[in-house]
Chains A and B, each alone.
Chain A
Amino acid sequence: MTIRFDSGCDPVTIALPKGRLAEQAVELFTAAGLPRPELDNGRKLIVESADRTVRYVMAKPGDVPTFVEYGAADLGVCGLDTLRESQRHVYEPLLLPFGYCRLSLAAPAGRPDTPLRYESQPRVATKYPNLTADFFRARGVNAEIIALSGSVELGPLVGLADLIVDLVETGDTLRANGLIETRTILEVQAVLIANRAAYHLKRKAVEQIIGRLRNYLTGKEKRGNRDGGNH
């Protein structure tokens, strides 16, 4: 079942992060009764729903907050890690129940686990230079941040860095590379973000979408609790 949106003539544009998050977002949107995009093999970057009320834009995950801040997309789905790292000015009206992981600090297994404030000038490799800098600054540590775009675990192995900050889901990758998770910097999950202007200019449609998702999620939570009680 889908609902019709009263969005005037303009469709609502939603930026989705290419990959697993987008699939989960589409799954959730469909379950909540929102118009479904006709995702093909992922080559098309703009996909409209059949009733043309919603337009999905497939973006690189890190670019979703940018699309939304500039108003190129009215809404977007991204991880809290990406959002906080981007420091973009957007609304974040709804947490979404997927994409769970954490942004963690990790050290080589042999390294003594002393309080962070005793570190003088650690070299930290990360894909998240802003969040990492904030984390160390808040603890008075003058860390040297080494921004990498992938395979951060390599850092300590080849002597590039003392520590790393990276996303951890199960911890397998860290362990395989002789690293131990020592601090959690941010609990991560997916979040729905909104352009500040679109939030007011397309209020009806945007509120309808958020309301639909919220109702579905609270309903699911209640259903989940009830099922849990039966056991």
Chain B
Amino acid sequence: MTGEMGIRSMGAQTPTGVADYFWAEAYERRRLESLLLDLFRRWGYSDVVTPTFEYAETLSERGSRELQSELCRFLDRDGSMLALRADMTIPVARLVGTRLHDAPLPQRYCYSGSVFRDVELRAGQQREFWQVGVELMGSAAPEADAEVLALTAEALRAAGIPHFRLVVGQMQFFEGLLQALQLDHDARARLTAAIDRNSQPALEAFLQETRLPRRQQRALAELPYLGGEQIDEILHRAEKLALNKTMQAAVANLYAICEVLAAQGVLDSVTLDLSEIHNLGYYTGITFEALAPGVGFRIASGGRYDNLVGTFGAAIPAVGVGLGLERLLLARRKGAAPPPPRPLAPDLIVSTGNRSDAFTFVAQARSVGLVVAIDLEHRRGPALCAYAELMGAQAAIDWGDGRPTLWRLDATQPTSSQLALDDVPHVLAGLMEARNIATASIQREAMP
């Protein structure tokens, strides 16, 4: 045991940016993960599991430069370059583009898994983190975008995050603006950086260095203000600023999506932001992120990527979202303490004396949903009680001599009573009730 001495040996430490999860916290993660996957399945999404690593080429050629530089690469035995997946979208797109393209469209997939980015650790960013999400493949309709947005909203509520905003942008609006401006590569990069940071200094410097016609200058200067909750008003202004068909189409697309969202009752959670141009390299239509109070960074993000699947084979339009599991948990806790750092307590500890009637009872208790651990040391009476209390159990049963004694530990003093076999259903029901009360107070699980 190292205690507070610190772990000195390098071989016993974990590298930076990865973490162990255990006890109640690990349980909370798994619960949230399965709760979200269940929700996705109810919306018609099928499970998909892809490999943890792929050929580096598969991942790097399709991501942004940012994503490329963040890949964790290593060599295969034959010398080819491999990489850990940096997101789930590219692997799922590969699977559908190469192997599943002739199944009926649209195809709906949900996933959960860890992804890896070799980044400097910064706000809310580790090198390994978990994503739970969906990909909706084979529809370019605004209804598909709206479905993924509505599902994101429902997932956030189910995860216990009632207050959130979905900030929605459209890549094509900025893309169209760049087309109209006809900038060289360098100027493009500078402008993109300025818009990405919503930077007045950088944007002003750009406008001074680059001579632009008045109309273009106005569209650019207005871009940072094309955001907010007044959807109609913003889209109306954006429409007027549009310099070409691409920009007009982007606005029309947002109108159509917002109409469906309004019918689904989700529009109240939507904030538009046409200056949101966060791109992983493959987004072609709407992009969005989910924000929640108390967390300074996005807790989910997604968008439309109509050209990605096509790079693997069949051209299939698609839209998807990934929710960050760690960030969801952070948003749900909102500054409150993480779950208590201790193993999950069993409801009941049984000292069986290796008797078959004891094992039958244990099986019965487990089948009604109680968590039952067996005392491997065959403790008796007060010793069993002390052990069960240490483990945080509600009760213990001493079956050692064939006459089972039930010890209740949930009162201030342990109380013992003989356990009559025809009394078992009643006892189990009592333990279940105690368990449910305790669970409700510990888990703070949100009821959708």
Measured CB to CB, the closest approach of chain B to A103, in angstroms, equals 14
Chain B residues with CB under 8 A of A201: 165, 291-293
Instruction: Select which of A88, A191, A200 is within 8 A of B227 by beta carbon.
Output: A200
- Interface check B375, CB cutoff 8 A: no
Instruction: Report the bound CA distance from A91 to B201 in whole Å.
Output: 11
Chain A residue with the shortest CB-CB distance to B297: A197
Chain A residues with CB under 8 A of B224: 93
A89 touches B122 (CB 8 A): yes
Chain B residues with CB under 8 A of A72: 296
A91 touches B271 (CB 8 A): no
The answer to whether residues A92 and B199 also contact, given A200-B165, A203-B228 and a CB cut-off of 8 A, is: yes
Chain B residues with CB under 8 A of A71: 123, 294-297
A contact patch SS: mixed
Measured CB to CB, the closest approach of chain A to B63, in angstroms, equals 18
A93 touches B297 (CB 8 A): no
- Interface check A196, CB cutoff 8 A: yes
Chain B positions 334 through 357: 1 when the CB is less than 8 Å from some CB of chain A, otherwise 0: 000000000000000000000000
Chain A residue with the shortest CB-CB distance to B202: A92
Number of B residues with CB within 8 Å of any CB on chain A: 26
Measured CB to CB, the closest approach of chain B to A109, in angstroms, equals 32
Chain B residues with CB under 8 A of A191: 200-201
Instruction: Report the bound CA distance from A197 to B297 in whole Å.
Output: 6
The number of chain A residues touching the other chain, given as a range, is: 20 to 34
Chain B residues with CB under 8 A of A131: none
Chain A residues with CB under 8 A of B167: 200
- Interface check A195, CB cutoff 8 A: yes
Chain A residues with CB under 8 A of B291: 196-197, 200-201
Chain A residue with the shortest CB-CB distance to B229: A203
The answer to whether residues A10 and B293 also contact, given A80-B201, A201-B165, A203-B271 and a CB cut-off of 8 A, is: yes
Instruction: Report the bound CA distance from A191 to B202 in whole Å.
Output: 11
- Interface check B198, CB cutoff 8 A: yes
- Interface check B145, CB cutoff 8 A: no
Instruction: Select which of A70, A91, A197 is within 8 A of B199 by beta carbon.
Output: A91
Instruction: Report the bound CA distance from A199 to B275 in whole Å.
Output: 12
- Interface check A95, CB cutoff 8 A: yes
Chain B residues with CB under 8 A of A145: none
B123 touches A69 (CB 8 A): yes
Q: List 22 A-B contacts (CB under 8 A).
A: A10-B293, A69-B122, A69-B296, A71-B294, A71-B296, A72-B296, A88-B123, A92-B198, A93-B199, A95-B200, A95-B201, A191-B201, A196-B291, A196-B296, A197-B291, A197-B292, A197-B297, A200-B165, A201-B165, A201-B292, A201-B293, A203-B227
Q: Which 3 A-B pairs have the closest CB atoms?
A: A71-B296, A91-B198, A197-B291
A residues neighboring B (CB under 8 Å): 10, 68-72, 80, 88-95, 191, 194-201, 203, 207
